[in-house]
């Protein structure tokens, strides 16, 4: 059923509840949700399991580095 919807939406990959769960975890983390809240929502006993669900993009990591880098903040002053 999910694959049929994926074809209609012209996705180039298979879609399953598990894929949607991974996407939710990644998007929530990239939008600033605390990893501890995310762990609770996903029902994980171990934070390491939650970490496996979150696949941050290189762009997101670079953006956060630029935003929170102590050097960047010093240069702005």
Cβ neighbourhood burial of 25 (10 Å; 0-12, 13-18, 19+): buried
DSSP state of 4: H
Both structure tokens of 15: 């879609």
Percent of the chain with pLDDT over 90: 42
* Average pLDDT of span 45-60: 91
What's the chain's average pLDDT? 89
Both structure tokens of 62: 């670079």
Q: Is the dihedral of CA 71, 75, 32, 2 positive or negative?
A: negative
* Average pLDDT of span 37-45: 96
pLDDT at 77 over 80: no
| pLDDT given for residue 68 in this prediction | 86
Q: What is the pTM of this model?
A: 0.71
């Amino acid at each position: 059923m999910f694959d049929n919807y994926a074809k209609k939406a012209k996705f180039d990959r298979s879609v399953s509840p598990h894929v949607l769960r991974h996407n939710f975890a990644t998007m929530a983390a990239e939008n600033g949700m605390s990893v501890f809240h995310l762990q609770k929502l996903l029902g994980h006993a171990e934070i390491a399991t939650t970490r496996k669900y979150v696949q941050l993009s290189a762009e997101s990591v670079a953006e956060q580095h630029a935003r929170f880098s102590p050097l960047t903040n010093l240069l702005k002053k």
